[in-house]
Chain A
Amino acid sequence: MTALRVLLTLLWAAGPSLADSPLTVVPRTAQETARIIAVTTLTRDFTKAEAFEAKPAGAATVRQRPGTDAFSQYSATMPFERQMNFNLGNALFTKSWVAAPASTLASDGLGPLFNARACQDCHLKDGRGHVPAPGETAVSLFLRLSVPGGDAPAGIKDWIATIPEPVYGGQLQNFSTPDVSAEGRMALTYTEQPVQMNGETASLRVPQYAVMKAGYAALSPAVMISPRIAPQMIGLGLLEAIAPDDILARQDPDDTDGDGISGRASIVPSAQTGQPMLGRFGLKAGSATIMDQSAAAFSGDMGLSTTLHSDPWGDCTAAQTACHAAPNGQETGLRDGLEVDRESLDLVTFYARNLAVPERRNPGDPTVLQGKRVFYDLGCTGCHTPKYVTDRLQDQPEQSFQLIWPYTDLLLHDMGPGLADHRPEGRATGQEWKTPPLWGIGLTSQVSGHTEFLHDGRARNLLEAILWHGGEAQAQRDAVAALPKPDRAALIAYLESL
């Protein structure tokens, strides 16, 4: 790790190190480092649950609430006096914004183009989005758009240069304010593809995406389309608090250890810090911080300006003239001259940072432990890294120094042609995706009323999600398909206990 740090320091000598956390960190002592190495070493004992395993967010873990509110609790470590900020953030997260001009000056500024009126319209119950039912207009699933070209940002190696689609911008907005044309509708069809496993069969639904009723010029022939579903919101602040070194150390771009798994860090310009930073959030790790991600969503998904994206027209391009000219919700001298003022962005960021991870169900159950053994033996932990100890933080007691179990390395991996969107984003190629965290995954049905997984919700259950794995995870996928049926069932039982 030390050698890596030296190397990184050399690579990024011009500015702050990539190994810098976006947060205010208390440096680790040597003794702490030793304890962390000891406690994060992977177990080989599957006869009982590990110490601390039942609480995936350490002391920040909350009880498992019944019903759909299981992902909507605040970190158990949150001091009393911060509950107000959490509640205000929650209120802003659920708030429906309206088009300008409106009598409610402080709530206007939506659009002119938008995918949703409120954060929670996609992040339903702080959980995952869902694919549209036949005939429904998609809300929590949308299309990102780009074409090749443009320049790489300064100081980031291996950046694959792309620019927004010249007319439609960076994503397709299904909705618009009354005097502006909407961009069109995402069309989605599925074809079933049978899959043979040892002792059983499954069927995967293969999606096909298109843009219908395009509201402006024809889309560029070079357009690249990437479907994105809203991910679950729990534990984001803890992921932000993982030491960058602990993530960077797991990179193996040339697969020098020969395990078939490479893993590359996403490095992106951070609007919040103004520096290239380790990307952690988004399906291709395109955002470095929770605030970067939140501000990008305000702008792209709802057309609302913030300090980080100050254009009130959001994702309208110069070619969309009516959109640029439409009324906006910015008034001089009110709310920092923005549609969403600094205070509101801070509150939403605080809220997103503190949505808590519920405790595990039955980590000591024999079938769950059998499934855990399968997960570890097959090497799923090669990307779904079980545990970390977060940095000790100066002003964030909620996330500070917790042993957490997110089951992700936050790195980019080639997942094969089946899952590819063929749309590069930053350093991520058209076949790479960030390993998503698995904590809370077993509560999806309870919170969301469905079990749709992967970047566009194509998998209808956890087994289908596994069977979609390819590329660096092809060996693990094949091994799961070849397992005796009871082992496969135990693996699913383990995942459902997370």
Chain B
Amino acid sequence: MHLSLIAAFACSAMALPVLAADPAQVAQTYVSIGAATFGDALITAKALQTAVDGLIANPSEATLATARAAWIAARPSYTQGEAFRFGNPIVDDWEGRVNAWPLDEGLIDYVDPAYGQSEENPLSTLNVVANPTFTLSGVTVDATQLTPDLISGTLQEAGGLEANVASGYHAVEFLLWGQDLNGTGPGAGNRPFTDFVQGPGCTNGNCDRRAAYLTAVTQLLVNDMAYMAAQWAPGGAAANRIIQDPNSALTAMLTGMGSLSYGELAGQRIRLGLMLNDPEEEQDCFSDNTYNSLYYDAVGIQNVYLGQYTRTDGTIISGPSLSQMVASADPSVDAKLTSDLASSVTALAVIKSAGEAGTAYDQMLAPGNSQGETVIMEAVDALVTQTASIQRAMTVLGLTEADFTVANDPAEVFQ
């Protein structure tokens, strides 16, 4: 099914392909893709919540597997939405709540005693699941009720330490999978479903509080996705900001594409882990789902440029695109960037295929795994290459890469 939300624009695109896209139309497509992407993130988060409720109501191998599958199914839409970071303050100010990593997971639940302790972050072994009251910066905290407010208001980044991640996808991931104790060897986390069994049969203690934590943190994730979906829906603050200033919107789109490609993906998420050969630098480290998250990040960047997004249900959202605008300014720049974006998606698809065939991303980070290193570096190189093309696209559109979040009006800055 190919469904165009903005039929009038699509018609004009067919009639006048070269002059098809003007900034207002391109901005509208961007907003429509944002609404659909974060809308899907909300739908899949709710499906995750249903599966989590099923696990807690009736813990079994099957319900745990269903919940894990629902978590993995929730990631593609969210990670495609990451291309909306670095240019939309509303997204930037929210992102840390939903996707923070790496985490000192001992804050939340039991961990292997030989692993992950930090004596100067006593919260790294707090284990709030096992401790209904505890002391935080000299203040006694009552955690008998594990609520979304307690998680977001008290536990998240407790003590100012970013490693104290209490909320978001990766907190849910830890509760569903448990620690991955296999280092750069094969295997993901292996939490037994009996960790959620109420009464006799409960393993590792405090199954009631573990279930309560998982329920609350999943609710929080749904709330956070609902918030962001509303920001991009018609009349939402993020949507309005883009529509009201289409020229800034173009800068936001390309800056987001470039920043995610280069600093975030190529740098912090991929190259750093390789530089340190450290499986802790793997984003979805409990589930070994990193290859999917990386892949869909690249797809998200491509979506923004091509003005097209395939929804979770298969519906295609499309409209006048940045690609068309760049092509009308300089077809060769558009052709190169379009091809570079496809190359990155292909390079990350190789990592994804390897992951699906049983070689997880953390295994590729092992020191001396030259094949893994080659595959990973090909993705890094493709992302770096596409960034240079993104910069050329900005140039042909007459945009500057200055941080537009603070308008540098010449009158405001001494030159």
Contact = CB atoms under 8 A, between A and B. Distances in A.
B358 interface: no
A320 interface: no
B59 interface: no
Nearest to B159: A124
A381 interface: no
Given A55-B406, A402-B414, A79 B401 contact: yes
B412 A54 contact: yes
Contacts of A127: 160
Given A80-B387, A83-B259, A84-B263, A68 B268 contact: no
A121 B122 CA distance: 12
A104 B272 CA distance: 13
B412 A136 contact: no
Contacts of A136: 122, 137-138
A418 interface: no
B120 A87 contact: no
B1 interface: no
Interface string B83-121: 000000100110010000000100000000000001111
B340 interface: no
A52 B414 contact: yes
Interface residues on B, range: 35 or more
B278 A106 contact: yes
Interface string B371-403: 000000000000000010001000000000111
B144 interface: no
B406 A133 contact: no
Contact of A135 (B118, B138, B281, B405): B138
A222 B258 CA distance: 57
Given A84-B266, A133-B137, A105 B277 contact: yes
Contacts of B262: 80-81, 83-84
Interface residues of A, number: 63
A107 interface: yes
B141 interface: no
Contacts of A54: 412
A96 B118 contact: yes
Contact of B278 (A59, A76, A107, A117): A107
A94 B387 contact: no
B298 to A, nearest CB: 16
Given A104-B277, A133-B138, A136-B137, A55 B413 contact: yes
A136 B104 CA distance: 19
A95 B273 CA distance: 11
A137 interface: yes
B119 A88 contact: no
A62 B405 contact: yes
A96 B161 CA distance: 11
A134 B414 CA distance: 47
Nearest to A122: B120
Nearest to A52: B414
B163 interface: yes
Contacts, number: 145
A88 B406 contact: no
Interface in B261-300: 262-264, 266-268, 271-272, 275-281
Contact of B406 (A63, A68, A85, A402): A63
A468 interface: no
A52 B135 CA distance: 45
Given A63-B405, A83-B259, A91-B281, A174 B120 contact: yes
Interface string A35-72: 00001000000000001101100110111011111000
A315 to B, nearest CB: 16
A352 interface: no
A343 to B, nearest CB: 8
Contacts of A61: 406
A235 to B, nearest CB: 15
Given A76-B403, A137-B120, A359-B406, A58 B135 contact: no
Contacts of B161: 120-121, 124
Contacts of B275: 88, 106, 343
Contacts of A106: 275-278, 367
A107 B280 contact: yes
Interface string A115-151: 1111011001101001001111101000000000000
Contacts of B280: 104, 107
Interface in B143-189: 157, 159-163, 183-184
B138 A403 contact: no
Given A88-B271, A91-B272, A115 B120 contact: yes
A210 to B, nearest CB: 20
B120 A134 contact: no
B209 to A, nearest CB: 25
A226 interface: no
Nearest to A114: B120
A86 interface: yes
A408 interface: no
A75 B246 CA distance: 24
B14 interface: no
Contacts of B367: 105-106
A90 B412 contact: no
B405 A86 contact: no
A69 B96 contact: yes
Contacts of A55: 406, 412-413
Contact of B183 (A95, A103, A116, A402): A103
Interface in A395-435: 402-403
B391 A80 contact: yes
A62 B262 CA distance: 20
A92 B272 CA distance: 9
A449 interface: yes
Contacts of B391: 80-81
Contacts of A95: 276
Contact of B412 (A52, A65, A69, A105): A52
A175 interface: yes
Contacts of A59: 402, 408, 413
Contacts of A67: 93, 96
A87 B160 contact: no
Given A52-B413, A125-B162, A65 B93 contact: yes
Given A116-B120, A120-B161, A80 B258 contact: yes
A389 interface: yes
A306 interface: no
B120 A117 contact: yes
Contacts of B183: 103-104
A52 B401 CA distance: 22
Contact of B268 (A81, A91, A175): A91
Contacts of B401: 79-80
11 contacts: A80-B387, A80-B401, A81-B391, A84-B267, A84-B271, A88-B268, A116-B120, A117-B118, A124-B161, A133-B138, A139-B120
Closest 7 CB pairs of A and B: A133-B138, A83-B263, A124-B160, A403-B414, A84-B267, A76-B403, A106-B276
Given A51-B414, A80-B391, A130-B160, 5 more contacts: A59-B413, A62-B403, A88-B275, A120-B162, A403-B414
Interface of A: 39, 51-52, 54-55, 58-59, 61-63, 65-69, 76-81, 83-88, 90-92, 94-96, 103-107, 115-118, 120-121, 124-125, 127, 130, 133-137, 139, 174-175, 343, 359, 389, 402-403, 448-449
